[in-house]
Copies of this chain bind each other. A is one copy, B any other.
Amino acid sequence: MSLNTFGHLFRITTWGESHGPAIGATVDGCPPGVPLEAAMLQRWLDRRRPGQSRYTTQRREADEVEILSGVYEGQTTGTPIQLLIRNTDQRSKDYGDIAGKFRPGHADITYWLKYGIRDPRGGGRSSARETASRVAAGGVAREVLKALVPGLKITGYMVQMGPHEIDRARFDWEEISRNPFWAPDAAAAADWAVYLDGLRKAGSSVGAVVEVTISGAPPGLGAPVYGKLDADLAAAMMSINAVKGVEIGEGMAAARLTGEANADEIRMGANGPEFGSNHAGGILGGISTGQDIVVRFAVKPTSSILTPRKTVTRSGENTEIVTKGRHDPCVGIRAVPVGEAMAACVILDHLLLHRAQVGEGPRGRIG
């Protein structure tokens, strides 16, 4: 998990800058014999693609993924899969002001300080564009999971935009794909639409909370104590642009609970132990329980806004900056498929790790 590679055994290395010729992902460690075609990955990329509603950046990228290696006659061969996505809409003139100034809240300044050089066009490597590569690679992970754990399902959705949370009592899985915010609550989605229109017109931006639920994962995934499933999920989500917090199950709210309230009591069910609640978010001691795995992350507002902010130039003069470009008023929206993709990579990785150390399936039996 060093530098630009994520994963222990199912390893993705993403590469490319926002305004270079292309971006992509090198996927290594993929099991052989899994059906794979570009269209299977395109499906997920299309969910992340900008310019699909007025709530995301109007940059128009085709985001077409090509598979350059690792697949033969429609099946993975077990060798590295190179996924390439060409950059087609690179209006770098929009970014003229950024080259010499630093956007407050943006990685401009830290890239510059660290490396002493950076590609300023569209954020270069720090652009959210990098997440397209993750979505493509996550699509590979999904296809492998489909082959190995047929019932497994990974679903991301937004549970909060700015200060506005969904009402869990109205939670509806079917609703998620019906609104442009991936909200599981139709009423919240309607409110958000109005709220975000206001922000967008004001050239402002706002944060969000995204939740990803993984259902159907077998118990036993994860490895104590530094390869914990939740530690890897936390790293995965925190590595996404603009993420500032990660929670598993109760998350930060677990601090408020007593031991009695937090205990997920257990009873025998028809097919093994069943839990009366899921405060744990499906993970105990870093290992999956078989319940839904629930991970949540907060995305900060994009730093590209129309209101002037104080900053400095590279030569050290005080100035102000306004970011015109074409930006997302709420990048959290497009973070939903990215969170799903990262979750898919982590789950598959731990499935392979478990198979390596223990063999197929959990080794312990209850009852």
Contact = CB atoms under 8 A, between A and B. Distances in A.
A162 B219 contact: no
Contact of A82 (B15, B32, B81): B15
Interface in A280-303: 280-281, 283-290, 298-303
Contact of A254 (B130, B161, B299, B362): B299
Interface string A5-48: 11011010111110011111010111111000000000000000
A309 B265 contact: yes
Contacts of A257: 162, 206-207, 300-301
Contacts of A113: 219-220, 287, 289-290, 362-364, 366
A267 interface: yes
Contact of A234 (B15, B69, B234, B249): B234
A15 B17 CA distance: 20
Interface in A329-353: 332, 352-353
A209 to B, nearest CB: 5
A252 B244 contact: yes
**Interface hub of A4, A112, A206, A367 (most chain B Cβ within 10 A):** A4
Interface stretch (A54-62, A149-157, A179-187, A310-318): A310-318
Interface residues of A, number: 166
A96 interface: no
Contact of A109 (B82, B208, B273, B314): B273
A318 B266 CA distance: 8
A159 B32 CA distance: 40
Nearest to A353: B356
28 contacts: A4-B227, A5-B13, A14-B80, A23-B69, A32-B358, A33-B117, A33-B363, A79-B119, A105-B264, A105-B279, A107-B284, A107-B287, A109-B366, A126-B285, A130-B225, A160-B255, A226-B235, A233-B238, A244-B249, A244-B280, A251-B252, A255-B299, A259-B301, A263-B309, A268-B317, A276-B310, A312-B366, A352-B357
